[in-house]
């Protein structure tokens, strides 16, 4: 009887420990329409804005728009997956995926890797121009903190993302990013680069300076 009680006690202790290892995506990748983020880019000394806009016809679809670069159309499924449907560049090019790409699952652990790829059709201002393959890899790194002009965020997860295209009839597109996502705030720090075509590269080293979350401005503090 004593042995049974001891084993039961040990098993109950083990349950919360295993649960603590899991990271709930939506506690950190928090931003959805109508959020707006404003990050100061140290390299060019300008402001990068990221806005999240709902699709008027389908509330499960939304766009993540990055100024100067373009937008990502994302679909939320009934299983709470986030599926990348297309990428639209500011230059008028659009890559529509034959099979939407599954991004991060609803829960995951640090140091996990996720990858996906899909064929796509490239359009320029609505005209079909070529076919290609888009590949993306996401690595969940460690938990970290992030110091920004707005405030210091003590509970963040760090993601590194590498994406690239191959094919013909369109400008190649790739990006390599390291992102800090804070619990209940979303993206607060960003570093890396986007490359479009041969000679056009956007370098980014940005920290959050202002954010609108669900229509309310997040106040700064030390």
136: tokens are 């993306």
Distance CA 108, CA 152 (A): 24
Beta-bridge partners for 107: 24
**What is the chain's percent helix, strand, coil content, to nearest 5?**
10, 65, 25
Residue 63: per-residue pLDDT: 95
* CA proximity to 94, closest of 119, 50, 67, 128: 128
Answer whether 145's CB lies under 8 Å from 153's CB: yes
Helix (H) or strand (E) holding 91: none
Residue 74: per-residue pLDDT: 96
Residue 7: per-residue pLDDT: 43
**What single-letter DSSP state applies at residue 3?**
H
Residue 59: per-residue pLDDT: 83
**What single-letter DSSP state applies at residue 29?**
S
Q: For 69-122, how does the pLDDT look when each residue is reduced to its tens digit (9 = 90+)?
A: 899 999 999 888 999 999 999 989 999 999 999 989 999 999 999 999 999 999
**Residues in the chain, pLDDT under 50:** 4-18
Helix (H, G, I), strand (E, B), or coil: what is residue 7? helix
What is the residue-wise DSSP string for 125-165? TTEEEEEEEEEEEEEEEEEEEEE-SSBEEEEEEEEEEEEEE
CATH of domain 27-215: 2.40.360
Residue 19: per-residue pLDDT: 52
């Amino acid at each position: 009887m004593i042995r049974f009680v001891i084993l039961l006690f040990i098993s109950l202790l083990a349950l919360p420990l295993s649960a603590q290892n899991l990271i709930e995506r939506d506690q950190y990748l928090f931003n959805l329409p109508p959020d707006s983020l404003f990050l100061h880019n140290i390299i060019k000394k300008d402001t990068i804005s990221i806005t999240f806009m709902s699709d008027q016809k389908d509330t499960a679809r939304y766009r993540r728009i990055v100024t100067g670069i373009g937008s990502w159309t994302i679909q939320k499924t009934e299983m709470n997956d986030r599926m990348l449907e297309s990428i639209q560049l500011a230059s008028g090019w659009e890559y529509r995926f034959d099979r939407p790409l599954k991004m991060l699952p609803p829960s995951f652990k640090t140091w996990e890797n996720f990858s996906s790829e899909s064929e796509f059709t490239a359009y320029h201002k609505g005209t079909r121009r070529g076919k290609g393959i888009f590949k993306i890899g996401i690595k969940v790194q460690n938990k970290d903190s992030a110091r920004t002009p707005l405030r210091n965020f003590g509970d963040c997860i760090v993601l590194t993302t590498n994406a690239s295209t191959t094919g013909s009839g369109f400008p190649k597109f790739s990006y390599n990013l390291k992102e800090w996502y804070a619990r209940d705030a979303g993206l607060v720090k960003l570093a890396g680069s986007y490359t479009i075509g041969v000679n056009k590269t956007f370098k980014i080293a940005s920290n959050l300076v202002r954010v609108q979350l669900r229509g309310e401005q997040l106040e700064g503090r030390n």
